[in-house]
Structure 1
Amino acid sequence: MGDSRLTVLGSCGAWPEPGRACAGFLLVHNGFRVVLDLGYGAASRLFTHCGDGLPDAVVVTHEHPDHCADVSALGRAWHYTVQEPHGSSARLPLYCTPGTLRRLEAMEPRPHPTELFEVHDLDAPADVGPFRLTAFPLPHHVPNFGVRLTAPGLTVAYTGDTGPSPVLADLGRDADLVICDATHRTPPDGPRYLLTATEAGHWAAEAGARRLLLTHFWPGTDRATAAAEARTEFGGEVLVAEENLTVTL
């Protein structure tokens, strides 16, 4: 697999608990750095873990600000450290939904996000550095796509936010790591747009994944309990997303 690792930038859903951040992950494979979501408070950890620079690409699963707000901060960093000092028009590749782009435009219309980012529709398969990116539509309050990134010898799948769906088994099929929404403590009544930890374990097992990383915890969630609930359904290794946790792949 080469030099492959995933670092948690943020693990909370909705809003960040003190000392934490909302959704964000940095996936590194053979030196290529791709960000998966960048919600409230996640940018500072991204800059810490990139260290010597900025990422090579960004993937945003959907437009909710706990998944995309800090992409605006990344855009500013790109503009003031890459473009302006060097008189460059280079843009950072961004794979996202149309709604995400509208949110970024509303936050910072100048420079326009399309001047900062080379925007690609997340719904179309793409080559992202060493990875093949495939997106899977999943049930949520707004259009959300789970993403599967595959390179020789490595597959990482990430749900974004999702309700129960058989598509989750295809998203995570035989993956080395599935990063999965585990928001609810108990299943709510009515239409389902988010998962419990138990359901995350179920779908990781259906997928035949090797490891499961639970994330998107509602503030106040007992994370040890969530992991125990996931283990009732999934026999592989269950990890709990914690800010700055790095998982070797």
Structure 2
Amino acid sequence: MRLTVLGGCGAWPTATQACSGYVVEYDGFRLLVDPGYATLPRLLARLTVDAVDAVLVSHGHPDHCADLNPLLRARALSDEPPPALPVYAPHGALDAVLALDKPSMLAAAYRLHEFRPGDRLRIGPFTVGTRLLPHFVPNAGLRISTPEAVLVYTGDTGPSEDIPRLAEGADLFLSEATYVHRVPSPGDAPYLLTARLAGRYARQAGAARLLLTHLWPGTDPGAALEAAGEAFAGPLDIAAPDLVVDL
């Protein structure tokens, strides 16, 4: 299994970083996870739009799904449109982004499969376990497995003892880490994570490797790594554009 990071910026893209977006490959199948703001140009630097085999979305915030619209446009309006793209998302998560165009324009470009967090999915060669994790909107933590490796991705989440359960024994734990040591707003604290807590959860889960993502724009990556490293002693990195991890 191979993970390629398209972007890992929280909330909005910067001049050098797209929002959440990841390509997970195995056995020739390419799964695009969370096509957030500005991820399509990063994808097109590596692949053509018809090379994506399926899309999986953790939740409906636009920094995790907005670039599904231009991806579908590029497929639907090409000279030789590829087959309908399977798209998996929690119920209602994509209503807003799919409403950006009249339904008839993109109808043939995708095939929507809605699920409830807690469901188990089969997407190409991947088995995907999902778990509801706390966020402002329903968010599915994802455990993406092949016979050879396990990748766990939190989507966006607040503190939860379900996180280390989801990530137990993962070869790679891709965890949101919006803030470094604490969430500054008490109202946001139940719904966002810190790098320090991501490190603690990675240690509790026995994860082999930790990758921090969704850092708030302007966050010092070194400070986030230091905070996560207080609890987690294994390999540790930031989800930066074009980072490739072979599991």
State whether TM-score is above 0.5: yes
1:131 corresponding residue in structure 2: 126
- SS of the counterpart of 1:38? coil
Look up the equivalent residue of 1:236 and give its one-letter code. G
1:104 corresponding residue in structure 2: 97
- SS of the counterpart of 2:242? coil
Look up the equivalent residue of 1:10 and give its one-letter code. G
C-alpha displacement at 1:53, in angstroms? 3.9
Matches within 5 A, 1:1-249: 4-51=1-48, 53-81=50-78, 85=80, 90-111=83-104, 114-123=107-116, 124-185=119-180, 186-188=182-184, 189-190=186-187, 191-249=189-247
C-alpha displacement at 1:31, in angstroms? 1.3
Q: CA RMSD in A?
A: 1.7
If the length of structure 1 is used for normalisation, what is the TM-score? 0.92
* Unpaired runs of at least 5, structure 2: none
C-alpha displacement at 1:116, in angstroms? 2.2
Look up the equivalent residue of 2:87 and give its one-letter code. L
If the length of structure 2 is used for normalisation, what is the TM-score? 0.92
C-alpha displacement at 1:17, in angstroms? 1.5
Counterparts of 1:42 and 1:94 in 2: how far apart (Å)?
A: 16
Q: How many residues align?
A: 242
Question: Kindly tell me: are residues 223 and 100 of structure 1, through their superposed partners in 2, closer, same or farther at Cα, counting changes over 3 Å?
Answer: same
> Is residue 49–residue 74 contact of structure 2 (8 Å, CA) maintained in 1?
no
* Unpaired runs of at least 5, structure 1: none
Q: For structure 1, which segment, 104-113 or 56-65, has the greater mean C-alpha deviation from structure 2 after superposition?
A: 104-113
Which contiguous aligned blocks of 4+ residues in structure 1 show a shift greater than 3 angstroms?
A: 110-115
Q: For structure 1, which segment, 121-130 or 211-220, has the greater mean C-alpha deviation from structure 2 after superposition?
A: 121-130
Identity %: 42
